[in-house]
Amino acid sequence: MHKIMSKKKIAEDIYKIVLEAPAVAAKRKAGQFVVLRPEETSERIPLTIFDSDAGKGTITIIVQVVGKTTKKIALLEEGETLLDVAGPLGNPTHIERKGNIAVVGGGVGTAVAYPVAKAFREAGNDVIGIIGARTKELVILEDEMKAITSELLITTDDGSYGRKGFVTDALKEVIRKITVAEVLAVGPVPMMKAVCNLTKQHNIRTMVSLNPIMVDGTGMCGACRVTVAGKTRFTCVDGPEFDGHEVDFDELTKRLKGYSDMEKHYIGHKGCNLENKV
Ligand code: NAD
Ligand code: FES
């Protein structure tokens, strides 16, 4: 059992939750995730570890309500428990000192981008953060990102906050101004694809963190398969980060659409995507 130590709503349908998970907190590295099950009959959902505190034995996760199980987690209150938290899973991000690193978070993908940005910063890199959302109310983790970046650019699609446009518009500007050694992009698939199309033109290595459907999270079921450089890879054990210039994003889009209608039905409103790694 894993106790919820704190829960805070950070945007519409998005919660920051601190969970008791000492074994995970002791080992976890940036880029890794956990698979959670709130109760015996729940499906298992993968969520990135946003932060951890080994001393307190806690991990922090960001949960966006996108389906039945995330809704169940969001309805739990402080002091209540989740049945199991398996992890840390996946490969940690390869962190080294490279120079200027641009970390791009699209919407809820910012929760995945943050720990990697923090690790790059701690390794002595200059981290330029770019976070984008559809509108002002959906911009998340601005203060956290500001604290670990040398510059933070914020975009909104409707121009209600920061600059008007997509994260790719801000990235174009950054690439024009400075030499970027590497880009990390996390967010919706069309965003990661657009970032990769841009960086390919400039020959800038770009890593993406993928979020296909996961079931066991241990390489046994094959649900999370993606095609990278023409080869089938399992995101849970081979990823979650891959070289974005080699990912088949069109195939990933098709696979992600598989359950979206079902999730919309469960959650009961439009605009939700399938349940997946945040
Ligand atoms: P969203 O659709 O609101 O997009 C967020 C931002 O991404 C936009 O404001 C824009 O700046 C950028 N963007 C979107 N489409 C773009 C395009 N075609 N070109 C350039 N930039 C683009 O994001 P959301 O609703 O917060 O995200 C939901 C989606 O993100 C879900 O599909 C979810 O599964 C996925 N997601 C992925 C990860 C991951 O690990 N890769 C993590 C969390 C969420
Ligand atoms: Fe089953 Fe990756 S989730 S193989």
pLDDT digits (tens, 9 = 90+) for 64-94: 998 888 999 999 999 999 999 999 999 999 9
Residue from 195, 205, 211, 193 nearest 247 by CA: 193
pLDDT in tens, 2-30: 999 999 999 999 999 999 999 999 999 99
For residue 276, tell me if it sits in a domain: no
The b/e string for 34-62 (b: 16+ C-beta within 10 A; e otherwise) is bbbbbeeebebbbbbbbbbeeeebbbbbb
32 close to 26: Cβ distance less than 8 angstroms: no
At 70, which CATH number?
2.40.30.10
**Which residue is associated with the tokens 């970390």?**
103
- Which ligand is the nearest neighbour of the Cα of 232? 2
Same domain, 118 and 18: no
Same domain, 221 and 191: no
pLDDT in tens, 135-168: 999 999 999 999 999 999 999 999 999 999 999 9
Mean pLDDT across the stretch 260-276? 48
Same domain, 85 and 100: no
Question: How far is the C-alpha of 24 from the C-alpha of 191, rounded, in Å?
Answer: 30
Give, using CA atoms, the residue closest to atom 17 of ligand 1: 191
For residue 29, tell me if it sits in a domain: yes
For residue 273, tell me if it sits in a domain: no
pLDDT at 217: 87
Q: Residue 199 Cα, ligand 2 centroid: separation in angstroms?
A: 29
Same domain, 81 and 98: no
Q: Is the pLDDT of residue 191 over 70?
A: yes
Same domain, 98 and 173: yes
Q: Is the pLDDT of residue 261 over 80?
A: no
For residue 227, tell me if it sits in a domain: yes
Ligand 2 pocket, residue 220 CB under 6 Å? yes
The b/e string for 142-158 (b: 16+ C-beta within 10 A; e otherwise) is bebbeebbeebbbbbee
Same domain, 225 and 245: yes
Q: Is the pLDDT of residue 263 over 90?
A: no
Same domain, 77 and 160: no
At 221, which CATH number?
2.10.240
At 170, which CATH number?
3.40.50.80
pLDDT at 232: 97
Same domain, 65 and 156: no
Q: Residue 192 Cα, ligand 1 centroid: separation in angstroms?
A: 8
Mean pLDDT of the chain: 92
Mean pLDDT across the stretch 189-216? 95
pLDDT at 276: 47
Q: Residue 234 Cα, ligand 2 centroid: separation in angstroms?
A: 6
For residue 277, tell me if it sits in a domain: no
> What backbone torsions phi and psi does residue 161 show, to the nearest 5 degrees?
-155, 145
Phi-psi region of 277 (alpha: psi -120 to 50; beta: other; left: phi over 0): beta
Same domain, 127 and 140: yes
* Count of CB atoms situated within 10 Å of the CB of 15: 21
pLDDT at 266: 52
For residue 267, tell me if it sits in a domain: no
Percent of the chain with pLDDT over 70: 92
